[in-house]
Structures are given as C-alpha cells and as structure tokens.
Amino acid sequence: MRIKLAAMLLACGLAGAAGAETEVDAYGLGPHKPNPEEWIKLDDAVSLRVRIVHDKSGELAPTITRAEVLRLEVAFTAANGAKDRPLRFHCKVKFVSPEAEWSDWKADQPCFEGRLAQGLGTFVPLDLDFRFRPKASDPRGTSGVSVQFTEEIANDHLTLTPTFRWEDDSE
C-alpha cells in the first residue's frame, strides 16, 4: 500500500512539473496567438488599457509582416460613481522576445498627473509617446511590450504586456 501511495505521489509530482507553465506560455509568447490589447483594474475606481497599434492607422496590430512603425496607446478610465481623487502615474516600458528574453527599460517617465474624474465615461490617454519598428533581425514569433504602471499617490503597481506577432516577409 505504501509503495502504491509513493508511486502515485511521485507520478503526480512529475506530472505537475511537466505541466508547469513556462514564461513563454504565461505571457502568450513564441507560438501563441498575439493579444495586442490588455485591460486591467488597478482598483475599484481605475482601469488601465494598453494597445499595440499601427502608427499610421491606429488599428490594432496583432500580426506584422513588414517593418513598420507601431506605437503603444496607454490610457485609463474611471468607474461610474467613483469618488474623485488625484492620480499620478509613472510608466516604464520594456520588450520581451518570443523566447521570453527581456530587454532593459526603454522608457521610464511620469505619464499622467490629474484627477480621477477626468476618466469618467471615457479613456484618457496617458502621456507616453512610445513608438517602435520591428527589424528583419528580430526573432519571428509572438513578442510582447510590457508596460509597468505605478500610481504614485497610492503606491499601487501593475504591469500589462500586450503582444504582437512578427512574421517578416521581406526575405
């Protein structure tokens, strides 16, 4: 009985290790379908959104087949009935490759100072002008652009990492 129990525990442990989620899977990188738009609630009153879009058209950019300029659209909105208060966001940006290799920070700046009421019923763009262009030498597959938000007054932090797929067709 003990041997059978030990074998079952060992099998469960090995299955758990084999089924462990990798960073590639957690962020939807590499072979995964891109997700160029992410939203998250900072708290009951504030939601944040990050979108990867084509710079010229403003359309979502899930898959890129030629080197063109992309940009981040970063914004917040306030929940209906939320009590007004001051907000002060700081934004940091870095890239993550299809293999889950992280770049250094590419932007690190204050990106909003104002009031929560400005976001009632609408998305308020944050002051983050971040554009980039994939290069032929970049690895093929789904990559991410990670935006770390800090609401400095409440000292709340969160990160969103929308993704895009790079399939260079210039070869």
Identify the pLDDT of residue 161. 98
Average pLDDT over the chain reads 90
- The Cα–Cα gap between 64 and 39 comes to 22
- Contact (Cβ atoms closer than 8 angstroms) between residue 93 and residue 147: yes
Helices vs strands, H then E, count in the chain: 2, 11
- In CATH terms, 23-166 corresponds, of 3.40.50.300, 1.10.760.10, 2.40.50.140, 2.60.40.3880, to 2.60.40.3880
Per-residue pLDDT tens over the stretch 72-85: 999 999 999 999 99
Q: Where are the domains of the chain?
A: 23-166
- The Cα–Cα gap between 136 and 33 comes to 20
